[in-house]
Structure 1
Amino acid sequence: MKSLSGVIALIPTPLTKRGKLYVKDLKKLIDFQFENGCTGVGVLAGIGEGYLLRPEDWTDVVKSTVDKVNGRGPLIVGCAAMGTGVAVDYVKEAADIGADAILSFNPIGYRSYTVEETYRHFKAQAEAAEVALVPYARDMDMIHPEVVKRLVDEGHVKHMKYGFHSCGILEQLVSLTGDKLYRFCGADTWTLRYLLIGCQGIMTATAAVFPKENVELLKLVKAGKIKEARELYYKVFLPWNDAGFYENWQWAHKYAFKLLGLMSSDNMVPPQALGEEYHKAEIESLLKHLKKI
């Protein structure tokens, strides 16, 4: 079972007009991450629209990514599902194909699940395959700290992607799990503050667009160079937070990659739509200002 650390870039799923995987662009995206210092890549997370793809297209993405990563670093695969059974099936399939880790989501339903139900959901996935399970606490979708602690104490989980919008809950997780849990910052718009509070790595979509800057930010924080880290954050991260994270943020990232020459199109999985012209202009203006295009 591979250990995960550093900066893991979550990449979008490049699509043809027919909605099928554009393998040539996938290779470009993967190469870009490793060439700029990322330790690994992730597919089929929120940015990867994995929850919207047909099962056969989901499988195609995993197979193609395993081939293109070719052992250069750990590959994490998103396995979002409404129920535990489907999530377990995805975990087994991803592991059989060659994934190194699973990005695991809360069960999706029409009510809030109890602590015990949530624990069993993640435990079942952890026991389904010999790969690392990375629970993902999303922006407004918390995984209760006691669930995480129990999973860690029982040896089911060693990593977590923390994107829930609460500094207090993060501090509680640090207190409960200490160095037994490697915490990735998973909130693009909260990256610096979470690194300062208790996250040790970065796992975001922003890391895919700006891999070199994310690697440098993490390096500066670890070296205690907080002034320099803030300067970098204000220069690159905050402007991107404004330009990339309103309306359809998944499309915004695809459009940025199109401008960077790493994707041929910004096609989306239905029902998601392309962005408006004013949003395109804002992204283009920022990338020009940062001398990326």
Structure 2
Amino acid sequence: MLQQQLRGTGVALVTPFTTQGAIDWTGLERLINHVIGGGVNYVVTLGTTGETPTLSSEEKLDLIKFTFEKVNKRVPVVVGIGDYNTADVVKRLDSCPLDEAAAILSVAPYYSKPTQEGIFQHYKAIAAASPKPVILYNVPSRTGRNMTAETTLRLAHEVKNIVAMKEASGDMVQCMQIIRDKPKDFLVISGDDAVAMPQLACGMDGVISVAANYFAKDFSGMVKASLEGNFEEARRLHYKMLEGFDLMFAENNPAGIKAFLHHAGIVDNTFRLPVVPVTVPLQAKIDAYLKNY
């Protein structure tokens, strides 16, 4: 069942680049093997962490195909397809190779700051066009508009093809309202690594994580322990990683996570503008933290 496939730890994959700015396919394969080997339950390609706004349409299609190939059915794959142009999302749903996808993750429309009714109609149109189940994604720090609990619950109850929510508002009361009033089989997934453990304690079903790109084993272990009610172990792993979360998001995502992955030799510390590497002082703090991790 999809509810079982998407329960636990998902990881929003970074997109590695070469020093010449091309996609580093070898680095991406290395990353995929690292996170699956660390125990994540599924992977997400073409999320914000993957610097998707800087990728061409051709590169996005190539990334989807490559991810399916290298994951090779070891874990489910979720594909990110979102935009502030509803018609464009619908068009891309028709053209993307989604046969092997478990679901799509679609961020709330950004920049245009629509009303709650506009957000509802945006997702209703996407769900009607999507050949795969839809995961909502609320991240007001990036989109400029919060999707309220009322809008999320309206979509969850009224639109059959919408099956889950990645909630990254940081508003614990809003999260609890959604958990309390959602349909029984609707999944609520954390999008905030630093508060994922208490959100899981409140009843969330898992996390789509940035930090799990690096902390694949410990983060997956923390989520698994939380879902099993073993909060002594979950707290141990949470506090072990807590300083890492602070460092990882101190300046920018994905600059922070790529600094961690570069330290581990998994990907190069390269980006496409406007994203740039973390500052030298922050990199020094990251290196010192990881030396003793």
TM-score (structure 2 length as normaliser)? 0.91
- Which ranges in structure 1 are unaligned for 5 or more consecutive residues? none
Secondary structure of the equivalent of 2:11? Answer: strand
Check conservation: 1:95, 1:129, Cα contact below 8 A: no
Structure 1 Cα separation of the partners of residues 162 and 203 of structure 2: 17
Equivalent residue for 1:261?
A: 265
Q: Which is worse superposed, 138-147 or 199-208?
A: 138-147
Q: Secondary structure at the match of 2:254?
A: helix
AA at the equivalent of 1:136: Y
Aligned counterpart in structure 2 of residue 235 of structure 1, from 240, 243, 246: 240
- The one-letter amino acid of 2:128's match is E
Q: Which moved more, 1:176-185 or 1:280-289?
A: 176-185
Work out whether residues 220 and 228 of structure 1, in 8 Å CA contact, stay in contact via their aligned partners in 2: yes
Q: Does 1:48 align with 2:61?
A: no
For 1:22-171, what aligned pairs fall within 5 Å after superposition? 22-96=24-98, 98-110=100-112, 112-140=113-141, 141-153=145-157, 154-171=159-176
Per-residue Cα deviation, 1:214-254 (whole angstroms, up to 9, x for no partner)? 22112222232223322221111x11122111112311211
Distance 2:224 2:77 in 1: 22
Q: Distance in 1 between matches of 2:233 and 2:28?
A: 33
The whole-number CA distance in structure 1 between the counterparts of 2:216 and 2:164 is 21
Instruction: State whether structure 2 residue 283 is matched by structure 1 residue 280.
Output: yes
Separation in 2 of the partners of 1:71 and 1:127? 26
Q: Which runs of 4+ in 1 moved over 6 A?
A: none
Tell me the CA shift for residue 76 of structure 1: 1.2
Identity of aligned residues (%): 27
CA offset digits 1:35-64 (Å, max 9, x no partner): 111111112212111122222222221121
Whether the 8 Å CA contact 1:83–1:108 is kept in 2: the answer is no
Secondary structure, in 3 states, of the residue corresponding to 2:75? coil
Letter in 2 for 1:132: P
Give the 3 Å change call, closer, same or farther, for CA 286–63 of structure 1 in structure 2: same
Q: 2:203 aligns with which of 181, 198, 202?
A: 198
- SS of the counterpart of 2:49? coil
| 8 Å Cα contact 2:64-2:97 kept in structure 1 | no
Instruction: Quote the Cα distance in structure 1 between the aligned partners of 2:277 and 2:104.
Output: 29
1:187 aligned onto 2:192? yes
| 2:236 aligned partner, one-letter code | E
1:2-39 Cα shifts (integer Å, max 9, x gaps): 44221111110011233221111111111111111111
Q: How many correspondences in the alignment?
A: 287
8 A contact 1:158–1:182 mirrored in 2: yes
Instruction: Give the match's secondary structure for 1:179.
Output: coil
Cα distance in 2 for residues equivalent to 1:80 and 1:232? 32
Work out whether residues 62 and 99 of structure 1, in 8 Å CA contact, stay in contact via their aligned partners in 2. no
Q: Retained in 2: the 8 A contact 1:62–1:97?
A: no
What is the aligned-residue RMSD (CA, Å)? Answer: 1.8
* C-alpha separation in 1, matches of 2:97 and 2:165: 18
SS class of match (1:224): coil
